[in-house]
Structure 1
Amino acid sequence: MSKRRVTVIDIARAAGVSKSTVSLVLQGSSLVNDGTRAKVSAVMRDLGYVYNRGAANLRQSASKSKIIGVVVNDLTNGFFAELAVGVDMVVQSAGFVQFLSNTSESLDRQREVIASMREHGISGLIMSPARGTEAADLKPLVGAGIPVVVAVRNVSGAKASSVISDNREGVFAGVKHLASLGHRRIAFVGGFSDTAVFEERLAGYRDAIETCGLPLDEELIVSGPPSRAGGAEAVARVLSIADRPTAAVCFNDAVAFGVCDGLRARGLEPARDFAVVGFDDVIEAKTAVPALTTISVDPQGMGRRAAQLLLKQINAGKAEPEAIVSSVRLVVRESCGRPIHDTIGRKEA
């Protein structure tokens, strides 16, 4: 049997204030002092209270609210903008509207935006979780019967659907391509080492190094923020290695663009002096100079699949978890240059 819903009266009793004071806090009234507001807000969080501004929607099924929440961890990365476009293509044609929010990898911000979306009566949620997200963070949503689809980053133990790419196979293909061009010292660059995506892509790197008969050097694994700035910083560390590599498979395209920036800052030219492979195949990859060789994930396609899965669950009236692993493919462009001899790419920066 489901638990009794927490009411304003419960909040007032637990906080030791009147019902009207709780109502004023919910309305954001300036009549409530900061101390009382903080105490009431803390009680609401502890009791799991959710205030729904669309009160009329409470008398309707969640599937009739026509609002889809979309929460991503880094909207400055073009990948997530394309993902959101893919979601919008599907939900808009189905008569829904998406509420999009960015967490910037903050768990606190993620909790705030999800709570706000619930207040507005979302029918379901698509999210790329912030670092450190655990199954317990999704439990209130799943427990309330709100369909959730986790995209890009999986959350271990969460009873939610997921749409992720074949991270292992993607990096494996990238390393194998570089090895076929004659590279023997290949780095793996970028990504937060405490995420499942990093672990999966690193596993692909290790497998490929072994399969290609290359020596595994842990010094060539350089983690860092999965951003352009992170890539520029990481390649500086890569180039400081005594027996430095001649190529790198990057955690994503943003890191790859940063690696190219960092190479040029040190007098090296991507493709000619150092081969670069990205991961994602964002729109800018094909127009970059040099055009980026990358692992194509099809961000918009991933967004469409996530939205289709969510709508399927909304229409069914139940959230039966499903897991989709999207296939990937290597797209060869210009950033790896021509086949090399062992000496190329090791000139002094």
Structure 2
Amino acid sequence: MTRSRVTVIDIARAAGVSKSTVSLVLQASPLVNEQTRAKVNAAIRELGYVYNRGAANLRQTASSKIVGIVVNDLTNSFFAELAVGMDMVMQSAGFVQFLANTGESLDRQREVIASMHEHGISGLIISPARGTEAADFKPLTAAGIPVVIVVRNIAGAKVSSLLSDNYAGAREATEHLLSLGHRRIAFLGGFSDTTVALERVHGYRDALVQAGIAADDALIVNSAPSRAGGVAAVERAMLLAEPPTAALCFNDAVAFGVCDGLRARGVEPGRDFGVVGFDGVIEAQAAVPALTTVSVDPQGMGRRAAQMLLKQINSGRVEAEAMVTSVRLAVRQSCGAAMKDMGRRNTA
């Protein structure tokens, strides 16, 4: 009786790991810890698996019509719109997309990248999870597979990047709130260890300093960049001895949560408190009140990222390029009227 061929799936099952982890071990990737590597190698020996490196290399280098798209939070509509923009370009170019959501998990991100690599993707667009390092892209770049990073920059990664002008957007939004008469302006939401948050806080701080206002660290409240994170952040901010009268939010999701949290306290956004978001998602226009936001045009950003990747795929050369897109402040009802008008209504 002929013995069936041992597969990567058999190895993964025997070692109690994912198929992608087995692939990383077979590629001698430094991303796998030694204990896991030892387990996988033991299973390989026990089952008598033979890795056909020539066939694997052929799969990886053969021209395919498949691209990988990896985002860190598909529950945020910004990333859904970003993916739609990518799809518009990739579909018209005849490419099929593998889409994965990491949920900010580095382990999940490494697994999906390894799996996409194994399936012979021609290129990858990724909004990296927190803590991503340049080394995470080495298996792809070493194989000549182009990578485009969007939204979050990774220091030292020799791949293309497409970012928005976070500093300028945050500065303009803060200046707008200052022009309405606000002096206690909070920055709410976002993880402090991401480049996006650091750049936006920098723009916010510089606008305050330029106006002669000392930036109060108590008014910078970090939280998850989500609607629930916005609720938590504004609750903490409003407990301060001298609470803010307005807030620049890390993103639109946080801004929606801030509006929810304000209403729970009997404070009406746009009337009693100025709220500004960041991203410019479609829901911002339909929100009540309509959300003032720094628009980065997520769908347009997705289209540009896809065009950058296609340019490298079609040229057959992986040449890293960096692009920073401009942003604009879309002023709507949520930022409120001037402080003097607010004061008249509140005392009437």
TM range (shorter): 0.7 to 0.9
RMSD: 2.8
2:220 alignment counterpart: 221
1: CA distance between counterparts of 2:10 and 2:258? Answer: 46
Give the Cα–Cα distance (whole angstroms) in 2 for the partners of residues 305 and 149 of structure 1: 10
Shift of 1:343: 8.2
Aligned positions of 1:111-260 closer than 5 A = 111-260=110-259
Residues 1:42 and 1:145: Cα distance change in structure 2 (over 3 Å): closer
Q: Tell me the equivalent position of 1:9.
A: none
Distance 1:263 1:36, change over 3 A: closer
Q: Is the 8 A contact 1:192 1:226 kept in 2?
A: yes
User: What is the distance in 2 between the residues matched to 1:309 and 1:42?
Assistant: 28
CA–CA distance in structure 1, aligned partners of residues 86 and 24 of structure 2: 35
Read off the aligned partner of 1:133 and give its amino acid letter.
T
Q: Residue 80 of structure 1 aligns with which residue?
A: 79
Report what 2:48 is aligned to. Answer: none
Give the structure 2 partner of residue 308 of structure 1: 307
Is the counterpart of residue 101 in structure 1 residue 87 in structure 2?
no
Deviations 1:11-34 (A, max 9, x none): xxxxxxxxx99x62414479x644
C-alpha distance after superposition, 1:15-60 (max 9, x if no partner): xxxxx99x62414479x6447999x9398267139x89xx699268
| CA deviation after TM superposition for structure 1 residue 336, in Å | 1.1
Q: Which amino acid aligns with 1:243?
A: E
User: 2:58 maps to which residue?
Assistant: 58
2:82–2:301 Cα contact (<8 Å) kept: yes
Taking the aligned partners of 2:330 and 2:103, their CA distance within structure 1 comes to 29
Question: 1:295 aligns to what?
Answer: 294
SS at match of 2:339: coil
CA distance in 2, matches of 1:298, 1:35: 43
Corresponding letter in the other structure for 2:324: V
After TM superposition, the score normalised by the length of structure 1 is: 0.86
Give the letter aligned to residue 305 of structure 1.
R
Quick one: structure 1 residues 135 and 344, their matched pair in 2 at CA, closer, same or farther if it must change by over 3 Å? farther
Q: 1:122 to 1:35 in 2, by over 3 A?
A: closer
2:84 aligns to what SS in structure 1? helix
Count of residues in Structure 1 that have an aligned counterpart in Structure 2? 322
* Secondary structure at the counterpart of residue 146 of structure 1: coil
Any gaps of 5 or more consecutive residues in structure 1? 1-19
One-letter identity of the residue aligned with 2:210: T
Q: CA deviation at 1:144?
A: 1.3
Partners of 1:43 and 1:83 in 2: CA distance = 29
Counterpart amino acid of 2:138? K
Corresponding residue number in structure 1 for 2:29:
48
- Is the deviation greater in 206-215 or in 186-195? 206-215
Deviation at residue 104 of structure 1 after TM alignment = 0.1
Over 3 Å counting, the alpha-carbon distance change for 1:35 and 1:330 in structure 2 is: closer
Partners of 1:339 and 1:36 lie apart in 2 by 58
Structure 1 stretches (4+) deviating beyond 4 angstroms?
34-38, 59-62, 342-345
Instruction: Please give the alpha-carbon distance, in whole angstroms, between the structure 2 residues aligned to 1:172 and 1:91.
Output: 34
Alpha-carbon distance in 1 for matches of 2:24, 2:107: 17
**C-alpha separation in 1, matches of 2:252 and 2:137:** 29
Q: How far apart are the structure 2 equivalents of 1:136 and 1:44?
A: 15
